[in-house]
Amino acid sequence: MKREKEIKQFVKDRYAKIASNGDSCCPGCTCNTDLVEQAKSIGYSEEEIRNVPEGAVMGLGCGNPTALAELKAGETVLDLGSGGGVDVFLAAQKVGENGNAIGVDMTAEMLEKARENARLGNYKNVEFRAGEIENLPVEDNSIDVVISNCVVNLSPDKLATYKEVFRALKPNGRVLISDLVTKGELPEDVRQSSEAWACCIAGAMEKQEYLNTITKAGFRDVTIVAEHPFCEPGMDDRLAGKIISIQVRAYK
C-alpha cells in the first residue's frame, strides 16, 4: 500500500509539471518535441488536431480512442485521465449538443489546463472532474461509453479501476481503451522504477493478463481492435519489442 501511494504521488507530480511547464512525459524520450507529429503518429488526424484547442494536444498517449469508439449523438462519454482534454473535446464533437463528455483527472494542474481549453474552445457539453480512476466521481449506471488513452497502466490497481468503470457504465455500455501492455517480462529494475511508472512502462501488464483483468471485472466480449509495437526514441534498449500499444473494446 505504501508503494502504491508513492507511485501515485510520483505520477501526479510528474504530470503536474507537464501541465505547468511543458516538461517531457519521460526523461530521455522525445515524446514532447513536436506535439502535432506525435499526435498524428498515434492515430489523430490533421483535422482532429486542428479542431481542438491548441493547448489540448500535449504529446501524451498511445492511441486515439475516439477514432474507434463509434460514439453516437446524445451519448454520455467518460474519459479516464483526461489530461489537457483532447479526447474529451473530440468526444464532445461526436456526441453533439444533446450528449455529454466528462473528463476525470487526479492532477489539479491538468484539470485547470483542460478547463481553460474548454473555455477557449467554447465547449458547452464538457465537464472536467477531480478524481482517481480507482474511485470515479460518477454515479452508478450513468455512462454510455468509457474511453481512456494510455492511463490505466498508471494505476497500481487495474482490477479496481475496471470494476469502477463497470459500475459507472449503463447496462450494455462499452469501453474503448488505448493502453500499453507487455510481451514477455520486463527487467526488475524497470518494474521498480518510479520514472518508468510515470513513463507508462513499469505499470504495464502482460497482454493476456490485462485482458483477463477486464473480464474479471465483469466485462464481456473483450476484444483487441488495434495493436502495434510501441517505442519512443530514448527508450531503454532492453525494452525493444516488449511494449505493445493496444486498443481494447468490451461491453458491460
How do the pLDDT tens digits run along the chain, 252 residues long?
657 788 788 877 777 887 777 654 554 444 445 665 666 556 566 676 677 677 666 556 666 788 888 999 999 999 999 988 999 999 999 999 999 999 999 999 989 999 999 999 999 999 999 999 999 999 999 999 999 998 999 999 999 999 999 999 999 999 999 999 999 888 898 888 888 887 778 889 999 999 999 999 999 999 999 998 886 656 777 888 889 999 999 999
Q: What is the pLDDT of residue 165?
A: 98
Q: By CB neighbour count within 10 A (0-12 exposed, 13-18 middle, 19+ buried), where does 1 fall?
A: exposed
Q: What is the pLDDT of residue 106?
A: 93
d(CA 218, CA 213): 9
Q: What is the pLDDT of residue 236?
A: 77
Q: What is the pLDDT of residue 18?
A: 77
List the domains of the chain with CATH numbers.
Answer: 2-251 (3.40.50.150)
- What single-letter DSSP state applies at residue 204? P
Nearest Cα to Cα of residue 14 among 202, 189, 244, 177 = 202
Residue 121 has a CB neighbour count (10 Å cut-off) of: 19
Q: By CB neighbour count within 10 A (0-12 exposed, 13-18 middle, 19+ buried), where does 191 fall?
A: middle
Which residue matches cell numbers 498517449?
61
Question: Would you say 159 and 215 are in contact if contact means Cβ atoms under 8 Å apart?
Answer: no
Q: What is the pLDDT of residue 31?
A: 46
Q: How far is CA 107 from CA 36, 173, 237, in A?
A: 23, 27, 31
User: pTM of the full predicted structure?
Assistant: 0.90
Q: What is the pLDDT of residue 30?
A: 42
Angle ∠(229,146,142) on CA atoms, nearest 5: 170
